[in-house]
């Protein structure tokens, strides 16, 4: 209310050392996009919340990631036992290009704080898998009952899938296709403890291709063909809270078609995927209305162009891999 803002201004006029009034007034300014005024108020206020807010403003408004990290480190120094600050600082670290290994080590050193939050636990599980410890990630995810949270849609399932698929690959490398089959089935059949179910429009071609490969290695060709056929039948995908005709999952459908011997269909789909990548690359990057609830938009504002370029690069790398496989 405007009278509340007037009261805060009067409080600051009466006592310029009123840190709470400065903090709250800064919050109001930021909400009204009066960013310079907000930053000035928070700088005057000091304290853990102000430092955290300055970190957000430094990244989103000033485009100064170094300052953003500095403010978050200052906030954590003031409140070292705050798990939310650790989660947000890790999200910032990911955007600043810190290695997965370094991020994992930091979270390992703060295990109690990680355990206090579902979102931080999921991030930690992903880091474990990506740095060579998928079984630790699997056990971590299995030991916890997750609750849905805004912006977390699909994250727990993705971490679960990645851990089990990594374990399946390890099993195949160790000449244990039976274990690979079990891990792939576990990736597909997610437990209720994850707190969410796979979206009905989500493309799972990768999972069924992996299942088919594991079954083939286990010398179960009929079941392998069934799994590959399932992978080959996927069309479109549900990503970033919206449907789209193609995604990086299309690559796995193409591979499934190749395994089934349907080379003409595989080539035709690869041509369509290449056309999609070209059109995506040439299109302006926009933020969908519903994307404001995505993890990348809840705190730090990511450049939509970067996400688009990343998707285009991934698809083109996949197409290059298909070309290599075809030529070999």
What does the alpha-carbon distance between residue 6 and residue 26 come to, in Å, rounded to a whole number?
13
Residues 271 and 318 in one domain: yes
Pick from 198, 233, 254: which residue ends a domain? Answer: 198
Query: How many domains is the chain partitioned into structurally?
Result: 2
How far is Cα 223 from Cα 231, in angstroms, rounded to an integer? 13
Q: Which stretches in the chain have pLDDT values below 50?
A: 289-293, 296
Cα–Cα distances in Å, from 29 out to 6, 40, 42, 48, 271? Answer: 12, 10, 10, 18, 51
Residue 183 sits in the same domain as residue 130: yes
Would 314 be classed as within a structural domain? yes
Same domain, 271 and 184: no
What is the structure's pLDDT at 59?
A: 97
Residues 258 and 145 in one domain: no
What local confidence, expressed as pLDDT, does residue 289 receive? Answer: 44
Across the chain, how many H-helices and E-strands are there? 18, 2
Structure tokens at 212: 């088919």
Q: Give the pLDDT of residue 165.
A: 98
State the pLDDT at residue 292.
Answer: 43
Same structural domain, 263 and 250 = yes
Regarding whether 179 and 212 lie in a shared domain, the answer is no
Same domain, 186 and 163: yes
Do 194 and 208 belong together in one domain? no
Asked if residue 228 lies in contact with residue 255, where contact means CB atoms within 8 angstroms, the answer is no
Q: End of a domain among 198, 226, 246?
A: 198
186 and 241 inside one domain = no
Range of the domain at 265: 199-328
Q: What global pTM score does this model have?
A: 0.89
Q: Are residues 288 and 302 in the same domain?
A: yes
Do the Cβ atoms of 214 and 168 come closer than 8 Å?
A: yes
At residue 325, the pLDDT reads 63
Report yes or no on 55 lying in a domain. no
């Amino acid at each position: 209310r405007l009278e509340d803002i007037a009261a805060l201004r009067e409080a600051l006029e009466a006592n310029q050392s009123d840190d709470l009034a400065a903090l709250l007034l800064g919050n109001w300014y930021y909400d009204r996009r009066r960013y310079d005024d907000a930053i000035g108020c928070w700088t005057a206020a000091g304290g853990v919340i102000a430092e955290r807010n300055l970190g957000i403003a430094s990244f989103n408004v000033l485009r100064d990631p170094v300052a953003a990290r500095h403010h978050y480190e200052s906030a954590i120094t003031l409140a070292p036992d705050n798990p939310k600050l650790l989660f947000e600082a890790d999200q910032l670290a990911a955007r600043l290009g810190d290695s997965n290994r370094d991020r994992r080590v930091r979270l390992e050193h703060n295990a109690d704080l990680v355990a206090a939050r579902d979102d931080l636990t999921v991030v930690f599980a992903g880091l474990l898998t990506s740095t060579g410890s998928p079984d630790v990630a699997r056990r971590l995810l299995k030991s916890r009952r997750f609750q849905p949270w805004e912006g977390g849609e699909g994250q727990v399932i993705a971490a679960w899938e990645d851990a089990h698929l990594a374990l399946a690959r390890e099993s195949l490398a160790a000449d244990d296709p039976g274990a690979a089959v079990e891990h792939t089935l576990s990736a597909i059949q997610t437990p209720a403890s994850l707190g969410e179910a796979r979206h009905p429009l989500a493309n799972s071609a990768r999972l069924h291709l992996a299942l088919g490969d594991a079954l083939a290695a286990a010398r179960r060709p009929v079941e392998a063909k069934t799994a590959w056929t399932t992978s080959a039948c996927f069309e479109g995908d549900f990503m970033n809270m919206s449907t789209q005709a193609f995604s990086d999952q299309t690559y796995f459908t193409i591979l499934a078609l190749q395994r089934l011997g349907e080379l003409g269909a595989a080539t035709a789909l690869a041509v369509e995927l290449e056309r999609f990548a070209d059109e995506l690359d040439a299109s302006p990057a926009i933020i969908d209305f519903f994307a404001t609830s995505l993890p990348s938009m809840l705190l730090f504002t990511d450049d939509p162009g970067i996400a688009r370029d990343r998707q285009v690069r991934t698809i083109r790398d996949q197409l290059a891999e298909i070309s290599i496989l075809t030529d070999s």
